Homo-oligomer: A and B are copies of this chain.
Amino acid sequence: MTTTQSPADSVAGTVKVLAFDIFGTVVDWHGSIVREMQALHPAVDADAFALAWRGGYQPAMARVMRGEQGWTLIDDLHRGILDEILSRFGLAHLSEPERRHLNRVWHRLDAWPDSVEGLTRLKTRFTITSLSNGNIGLLTNMAKRAGLPWDCVLSAEVFKAYKPDPATYLGVAKVFGLAPAEVALVATHHDDLAAARGCGLRTAYVERPHELGAAHPKDETPQPGNDLHATSLVDLARMLGC
Among the interface residues A129, A144, A177, which one has the most CB atoms of the partner chain B within 10 A? Answer: A177
Contact residues, A120-160 vs B (CB, 8 A): 127, 129, 135-137, 139-141, 143-144, 151-154, 157-158
Interface residues on A, range: 20 to 34
A165 located at the interface, meaning its Cβ lies under 8 Å from any Cβ of chain B in the complex:
no
Minimal Cβ-Cβ distance residue in B for A160: B160
A175 located at the interface, meaning its Cβ lies under 8 Å from any Cβ of chain B in the complex:
yes
Bitwise interface map of A from 150 to 190 toward B, beta carbon under 8 Å scored 1, else 0: 01111001100000000000000001110000000000000
A36 located at the interface, meaning its Cβ lies under 8 Å from any Cβ of chain B in the complex:
no
Q: Are A144 and B140 neighbours in the complex by a CB distance under 8 Å?
A: no
A227 located at the interface, meaning its Cβ lies under 8 Å from any Cβ of chain B in the complex:
no
A75 located at the interface, meaning its Cβ lies under 8 Å from any Cβ of chain B in the complex:
yes
Q: Are A151 and B144 neighbours in the complex by a CB distance under 8 Å?
A: yes
Report which of B127, B137, B175 forms a contact with A144, defined as CB distance below 8 A: B127
Minimal Cβ-Cβ distance residue in B for A143: B151
Q: Are A177 and B127 neighbours in the complex by a CB distance under 8 Å?
A: no
Q: Which residues of B contact A139 (CB under 8 A)?
A: 152
Q: Which residues of B contact A144 (CB under 8 A)?
A: 127, 151
A127–B153 alpha-carbon span in the complex (Å): 13
Among the interface residues A136, A143, A157, A176, which one has the most CB atoms of the partner chain B within 10 A? Answer: A136
Q: Are B176 and A137 neighbours in the complex by a CB distance under 8 Å?
A: yes
Contact residues, A72-89 vs B (CB, 8 A): 75
Q: Which residues of B contact A153 (CB under 8 A)?
A: 151-153
Q: Which residues of B contact A141 (CB under 8 A)?
A: 127, 176
A152–B136 alpha-carbon span in the complex (Å): 8
A positions within 8 Å CB-CB of B: 75, 127, 129, 135-137, 139-141, 143-144, 151-154, 157-158, 175-177
Beyond A136-B158, A136-B175, list 6 extra A-B contacts (CB 8 Å): A127-B140, A137-B175, A139-B152, A140-B176, A152-B153, A158-B158
